[in-house]
Structure 1
């Protein structure tokens, strides 16, 4: 079964975004998205180049491949896919973007769960470092985010307020990505710094921060907008 993409944004929720429809806002968001994606691509390539520059255990290489692509590429793009003014998403209907969001989230979650388990099975002292602890938190939040997404999708059938479920799902998703990127920051500050030097490590850390902030800007604004609207409606 194939999904047919069309070039209109006609979701009822998006038609009422008059406060966000100004050309200045759209331009700023587009520039932010472009810079964000450049940084995401750069830090992903930095991590992948690092594992081929040195002789590392197989489990570590698999861990970096799976979790790096899962969190930094797929999950970040899944979050951006729901932004109607973000890159390719501007050309796709809201319902089609939800399909893309689900597909990216499912694949990303599978990759990071497998990648995390592979490393945890090979390293017994994994949870004695900040990187390991944050990685475990990110893994737990990833699972919670998927469960929350399923509940949010069927909230109307479960007699749960869908507006509150979307807010909760957005918050958990943002926390998941934050934990994953913080985990990456500690990896860049320790192992990556030791192998690639201070300048490369500092650059990678800066791009990671920019990538995280840029990715979460739109969902955070959307959560605030939804909360304000719910308060006014009540």
Structure 2
């Protein structure tokens, strides 16, 4: 058994790190991770708002669901699919990147256009607000970009008849205009009274006030939109510059990429690692990050529903959810070989990232638990509290045990690495899974289910389906995340017995 050198690069060689600036790669990965989590938060909260009155959805709520999923979810991922720094698509062949982009773009555009038309048919007067006017611009440019995308899709095949840039540059520009105007339209929608009042804290007379959370959602949407459009804008600029260089008679070597080529990695790499399995891992990883954003965003929104200052219960929710479901999730994923944003890091940087996120997450979760314990006269008399205690104890043990695991390579001559790593993994998984169970019992409490529930004819909450959906999403990303550490622990244990 040979322990891995922590300075080794996990995916790629040290020469590769010399070609591509390593710090810049980390920066790109961080921004990409942030974009996916923000997409989950914004989309999750908007869909929750649309379902606040239950089913069937009226035209306004149907409009919200279709347009937000179309523009802010599917179209975002469609644009990211072609980005060389995007985590889940960076290892795909160019032809598969293009296919993925096309499928997501068609689905997103169709949903957004249908959602816009439904709202237009529902109103007697249209385009009399800035929300409606920017929505019309977004719909028009989305349609044009979709049609223009056909020539761009087959640019490689048509390269002998139509210069690729003549179809690709307009497609990029139309798409960016559609995407940015959809953000502006969304922000004007979030600025409407019914959404701001839904997210606002009531004052002493019961009237909504402090619309900060609505503005925070707008800021998050603007943030991931900016992150996403940077690459297509740079691409359009570079392609335009090459066109002008050619028109001025300058010799520019232009070679269109073979769509069957692998973007990051060689074809031999594809033979070593099953390509379909890589796509499957990337898809699950993307799903996990979006679900993390949805669950964490909705829980934090719920905690801030009464504004500031937060009471102990809401402080407990914020600290524990961010600690367990956000930071601890990303800490575990940091060491996963299939995790998108950390797969290109050196092992030493993976370990550092895992340690920092684990310490931060554990600290927040433990502090959040202790604050709630001090706030109550009787503790651990509910399943939520009992599983919370188990999660806190195992989190503390895993944190302490992590010190020997962190320096396992340096201590390899004194302590076999597996003797510290296996318990650390098991304690961590137990803490993480019990935190999920604790969260689900918390989401099952009446005050959360009633907040997400639709009122019946008498005004009483009913149909708690959205609360159960949040539990299901939390369970889904927890399962995705714990698979790799469990396999690692099993393999290490098997090697010990051998």
Q: Residue 31 of structure 1 aligns with which residue? A: 30
Q: Residue 111 of structure 1 aligns with which residue? A: 111
Q: Residue 168 of structure 1 aligns with which residue? A: 170
Q: CA deviation at 1:79?
A: 0.3
Q: CA deviation at 1:151?
A: 2.3
Higher relative contact order (CA 8 A, sep 6+): 1
Alpha-carbon distance in 2 for matches of 1:99, 1:52: 32
Q: Deviations over 1:75-121 (max 9, x none)?
A: 01000000122111112111110000111011111111111111111
The total of aligned residue pairs comes to: 215
Q: CA deviation at 1:24?
A: 2.8
Determine which of 193, 198, 205 is the counterpart of 1:195: 198
Q: CA deviation at 1:157?
A: 6.8
Consecutive unaligned residues in structure 1, runs of 5 or more: 1-19
Is the 8 Å Cα contact of residues 81 and 89 (structure 2) preserved in structure 1?
yes
Q: CA deviation at 1:28?
A: 1.7
Alpha-carbon distance in 2 for matches of 1:23, 1:222: 21
Q: Which has the larger radius of gyration?
A: 2
Is 1:122 the counterpart of 2:135? The answer is no
State how 1:12-161 maps to structure 2 within 5 Å: 21-54=20-53, 58-155=58-155, 156=158, 159-161=161-163
Q: Deviations over 1:16-52 (max 9, x none)?
A: xxxx943233222221111111111111111111123
Alpha-carbon distance in 2 for matches of 1:126, 1:38: 34
Alpha-carbon distance in 2 for matches of 1:114, 1:211: 24
- CA root-mean-square deviation: 2.0
Alpha-carbon distance in 2 for matches of 1:71, 1:23: 32
Q: CA deviation at 1:230?
A: 3.3
Alpha-carbon distance in 2 for matches of 1:94, 1:104: 15
Q: Residue 241 of structure 2 aligns with which residue? A: 228
Q: Which has the higher helix share?
A: 1
Is 1:183 the counterpart of 2:196? The answer is no
How has the CA–CA distance of structure 1 residues 228 and 28 changed in structure 2, closer, same or farther, with 3 Å as cutoff? Answer: farther
Alpha-carbon distance in 1 for matches of 2:20, 2:164: 24
Determine which of 230, 241, 244 is the counterpart of 1:217: 230
Alpha-carbon distance in 2 for matches of 1:210, 1:23: 24
Consecutive unaligned residues in structure 2, runs of 5 or more: 1-18, 201-210, 251-498
